[in-house]
Copies of this chain bind each other. A is one copy, B any other.
Amino acid sequence: MAVLNFVEAVRETLRQEMRRDKDVWVVGEDVGKKGGVFGATLGLFDEFGETRVQDSPLTESAIVGVGIGSALYGTKPVCEIQFADFIFPAFNQIISEAAKMRYRSNGDWTVPMVIRAPFGGGIHGGLYHSQSVEQYFTNTAGLKVVVPSTPRDAKGLLAAAIRDADPVLFFEHKGLYRAIKEEVPDEEYIIPIGKADVKRDGSDITVITYGKAVHFCLEAAKELAKEGVEALVLDLRTLLPLDREAIIAAAKKTGKVLIVHEAGKTHGIGSEVSAIIAEECLFDLDAPVQRLCGPDIPAMPYASPMEKAYMLDPQKCLAAMRALAQF
């Protein structure tokens, strides 16, 4: 087993899947010689050539639209959107076309495609290099939305996404790319899309989260344990479809739920998670369902003090978890 950081795990999985299936190809801005602005495709151009590792023009709608066409023909495009903030020019192709193709043709025409995009803040990216955009896609049946939180999960979930028969949005928190390393199995493996993961078990409070916030919550949980409070930390991993069973089980286990995500609170992912709990576990709850999320502002500012004010961190998570435990 090699020790890989997050972006290395992504790269090795792309390499593995491209070796495994000649129909898999990568397309996006600067994915070729440069290997992507975060190095996620570094070396693939040399190994697979420019037909399968294609620098695209600066046109997101085309990256996705051409990807859709090539998937209709039978290839398996892995489209890279350079920053999640720049996915919006492709929104019509994703929502109107990729998400509805199978449905409208009753399965005659399908779009097995992956759209990878780095998202998230805390890296001095300002308003347009820090956004979390997952909540723009989770209300669209026909799509799948995946957000891994560790190198090991990234490999298993990206392999699953590439082999999936439907369009998968695969969001990678750029703040994790080099922040965490772990042992990742060299052999192929799949982590099923749609299954959440208990990253830490506990009996006192339940924290439901995803992305980089998973690590903040795990750090906070360690602290909290010193105070005698054991937190269950559930990593959603897939936001569409949500793992309802795992959410309900985790909520019922402790009766106290805190939902944590970096994206803005109102009409965010946490809203649906909370609504599922209010629907299914009302009488198991000992406290109101809490949410700790980004503020409801247009996006994350650039200057360090304002960026810190926006971003979550272990301290903020610990405070919210402690307050819930004491409720």
Contact = CB atoms under 8 A, between A and B. Distances in A.
A88 to B, nearest CB: 4
Contacts of A96: 85, 88, 128
A112 to B, nearest CB: 16
Contacts of A290: 279
Interface string A283-327: 101011111000011110000000000000000000000000000
Contacts of A142: 297-298
Contacts of A240: 266-267
A66 interface: no
A95 interface: yes
Given A139-B266, A242-B266, A278 B280 contact: no
Interface string A132-144: 0001101111100
Interface in A208-248: 240, 242
Interface residues of A, number: 49
Interface in A181-221: none
Contact of A272 (B95, B99, B267, B279): B267
A271 interface: yes
A104 interface: yes
A240 B104 CA distance: 31
Interface in A100-151: 100, 103-104, 127-128, 135-136, 138-142
A267 B270 contact: no
A289 B297 contact: no
A275 interface: yes
Interface string A48-72: 0000000000000000000000000
8 contacts: A88-B96, A96-B128, A100-B299, A103-B297, A136-B136, A138-B266, A271-B272, A282-B289
Interface of A: 85, 88-89, 91-92, 95-96, 99-100, 103-104, 127-128, 135-136, 138-142, 240, 242, 263-264, 266-272, 274-275, 277-280, 282-283, 285, 287-291, 296-299
